[in-house]
Structure 1
């Protein structure tokens, strides 16, 4: 699904923040991306989401080199990838339902074609009774689940999640983890960036460990 070959990234003329990354993410796989703060986890997620270009090396996504994907094609490729940001990035003037439906609204789809899917997904993540509430009224855990639902609504082949349990209590963290596991069981590849060792110990999954911009892989 995704292949990195000797990928490096630097900002401007500064030192590389990611160095010689070579790994692949297979369809239907589940992995944790971990490492100390400042190791480059969020930067790597941005490369996976195609919102950053590498300084050197080769990245292939869904069988295509990213350097050959034009700007007009990028949105279509990104729709195959869902991403959950650490700060949620919900729009406060839109309801929970409208936030989750936003990926469909952006591409001009008629509401009648996606309304049932949005409602079903909101019920699946436990927000069926909160779909008409604005984000400022939601709790931190509810915002997190709304952000996850928005990432899932287009049925992505790959889901990227940046510290998805970092702002919730342990019981909710376990509930969110079960959500990701179920999603993976249904066929979506999952990459969870986290520093929570207890969370990772609950799943037998590959670990991509970043430190000082370099990666080790533990299976």
Structure 2
């Protein structure tokens, strides 16, 4: 699904942040991305999401070299990827329900075709009573859960999640993990960036450890 070959990234004339990354994200796979703070995990997720292009090396997403994809085609390709950012990126003028439904509205779907799915997913992540609330009223953990629901609602081919359990309590973290695992069982490849060792120990999954710009993979 995604292939990296000798990928490096630097900003301007500075040192390389990521160096010589070579790996694959296979279809239907599940992996954790971990490593110390500042190692470049979020930057790597942005490369996977095609919002950054490498300084050198090859990234092939869904069979296409991302450096050769016309800019106007990138948004359509990114629709195949669900992403949960650490800063949530909810739209302040939309309710929780409207934020989660947004990817489906953008695709031109009629509300009648997705309303029940949105409501059920919001209930699953513990926001069933917060569907008409604006983001400014939500707690950090509630915003995080809304962002996760928005990333999942359109059944992406790959899910990228940056510290998705960082603002929730352990029971909710386990519930979210079970949601990611179910999505994976249904066919979505999952990449979870996390520092949470307890979370990783609950799943027998590949670990991608990023340190000093280099990546080690343990199957």
Q: Is TM > 0.5 for Structure 1 vs Structure 2?
A: yes
Q: Does 1:205 align with 2:195?
A: no
Q: Please list, as runs of the form range in 1=range in 2, the aligned pairs for 1:46-125 lying within 5 A after superposition.
A: 46-125=46-125
Q: Is the 8 A contact 2:155 2:183 kept in 1?
A: no
Out of 17-26 and 174-183, give the one that drifted further: 174-183
Deviations 1:73-104 (A, max 9, x none): 10111000000011211122210011011223
TM-score, structure 2 as length reference: 0.94
Structure 1 residue 50: deviation in Å? 0.3
Structure 1 residue 109: deviation in Å? 4.1
Q: Is the 8 A contact 1:86 1:164 kept in 2?
A: yes
CA distance in 2, matches of 1:192, 1:51: 17
Report how many aligned residue pairs link the two structures: 219
Deviations 1:188-218 (A, max 9, x none): 1100001111111111000000000000001
Q: Is the 8 A contact 1:83 1:159 kept in 2?
A: yes
Show the counterpart of 2:181: 181
Structure 1 residue 183: deviation in Å? 1.2
Aligned CA RMSD, in angstroms, stands at 1.4
TM-score, structure 1 as length reference: 0.94
* Runs of 5+ consecutive residues of structure 1 not aligned to the other structure: none
The alignment partner of 1:174 has SS state of helix
Q: Is the 8 A contact 1:141 1:172 kept in 2?
A: no
Show the counterpart of 2:168: 168
The alignment partner of 2:130 has SS state of coil
Out of 104-113 and 70-79, give the one that drifted further: 104-113
CA distance in 1, matches of 2:118, 2:209: 35
Show the counterpart of 1:10: 10
Q: Is the 8 A contact 1:28 1:184 kept in 2?
A: yes
Show the counterpart of 1:214: 214
Show the counterpart of 2:141: 141
CA distance in 2, matches of 1:43, 1:102: 25
Q: Is the 8 A contact 1:30 1:205 kept in 2?
A: yes
The alignment partner of 2:45 has SS state of helix
